[in-house]
């Protein structure tokens, strides 16, 4: 434990608290463990299949976003070049134990005000540097790289549609989120969205 603390991988937020991973630890995990620890599929196919019956494109995307929020237990932001955007599962985020104190809630409230701007910046390829060039990959961003807030973790996926429209979706949660599961969730959602039936 002392070696991890000295290396900057864990910290003790206050004297009565246990030790928690630092941003450095999460970055190490994302770079070295996550690639081989991400499930290939997740068991939410039935939920996603129901959206194919919805005739309005935006309603289909919204249903996928709701399914993602439910399955991940985190918040979801979506946007398309139509333009259209939706924020789902904010209650999931607010109820997390990571935001119990007034200071944490105030920081989260400030971050929430930026969510819509951030998702459109990602859609346009403006921000952040970590996402530039990641046109087809699902990527993880956190800390100062995270346009949704430096204390949050995000998994971001871009998607393309047969009609030429493109979009982006992100699962947003505390830095300790289940990155492997959320990457798998977004990859599965992306496959569904990119099917011709959704156009």
Spatial contact of 170 and 77, defined as CB atoms under 8 Å apart? yes
Q: Are residues 13 and 90 located together in one domain of the fold?
A: no
Read off the tokens for 61.
């995307």
Sign of CA dihedral 9, 13, 14, 16: negative
Instruction: Report the interhelical angle of 179-193 vs 57-72 (nearest 10°).
Output: 160
CATH classification at residue 95: 3.30.450.40
Let me know whether 87 and 12 are in one domain: no
Q: Based on the fold, state whether residues 138 and 66 are members of the same structural domain.
A: yes
Q: Contact 75/171 with Cβ under 8 angstroms?
A: yes
**Are 65 and 160 in the same domain?**
yes
Bridge partners of residue 169, in order along the sequence = 78, 157
CB atoms within 10 A of CB 62: 18
- Residue burial 19-31, b: 16+ Cβ < 10 Å; e: rest: eebbbebbbbbbe
One domain for residues 90 and 61:
yes
Beta bridge partners of 139: 156
Alpha helices (runs of H) in the chain, residue ranges in sequence order: 2-6, 23-32, 45-49, 57-72, 90-94, 102-112, 115-124, 179-193
In a domain, 177, yes or no: yes
The predicted pLDDT at position 19 comes to 72
115 and 65 part of one domain: yes
Q: What is the pLDDT of residues 119-163, one digit of tens each?
A: 998 888 776 555 644 445 789 998 888 999 988 999 999 988 756
pTM: 0.84
User: Would you place residue 42 in the very low, low, confident or very high pLDDT band (cuts 50, 70, 90)?
Assistant: low
For residue 154, give its domain range.
Answer: 44-198
**Nearest by Cα to 73 from 52, 113, 42:** 42
Same domain, 15 and 83: no
Predicted pLDDT at 196: 67
Tally of domains in the chain: 2
Residue with tokens 């196919």: 45
Question: What average pLDDT does range 103-119 have in this prediction?
Answer: 93
- What's the confidence (pLDDT) of residue 31? 81
Q: What is the pLDDT of residues 155-179, one digit of tens each?
A: 999 988 756 788 999 999 999 899 9
Kindly state whether residue 52 falls inside one of the protein's structural domains: yes
Q: Is the peptide bond before 9 cis (omega within 30 degrees of 0)?
A: no
Query: Does 67 share its domain with 99?
Result: yes
Task: Indicate if 25 and 56 belong to the same structural domain.
Answer: no
Lowest mean pLDDT among 29-33, 61-65, 102-106, 193-197: 193-197
């Amino acid at each position: 434990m002392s070696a991890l603390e000295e290396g900057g991988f864990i910290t003790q937020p206050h004297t009565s608290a246990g030790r928690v991973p630092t941003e450095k630890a999460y970055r190490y995990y994302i770079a070295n463990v996550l690639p081989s620890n991400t499930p290939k599929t997740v068991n939410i196919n039935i939920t996603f299949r129901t959206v194919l019956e919805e005739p309005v494109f935006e309603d289909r995307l919204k249903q996928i976003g709701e399914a993602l929020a439910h399955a991940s237990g985190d918040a979801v932001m979506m946007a398309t070049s139509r333009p259209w955007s939706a924020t789902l599962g904010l209650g999931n985020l607010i109820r997390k134990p990571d935001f119990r104190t007034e200071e944490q809630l105030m920081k989260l409230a400030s971050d929430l005000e930026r969510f819509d701007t951030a998702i459109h910046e990602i859609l346009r390829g403006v921000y952040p540097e970590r996402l530039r060039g990641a046109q087809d990959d699902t990527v993880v961003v956190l800390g100062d790289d995270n346009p949704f807030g430096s204390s949050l973790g995000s998994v971001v996926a871009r998607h393309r549609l047969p009609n030429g429209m493109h979009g982006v979706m992100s699962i947003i949660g505390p830095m300790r989120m289940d990155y492997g599961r959320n990457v798998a969730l977004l990859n599965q959602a992306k496959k569904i969205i990119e099917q011709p039936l959704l156009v």
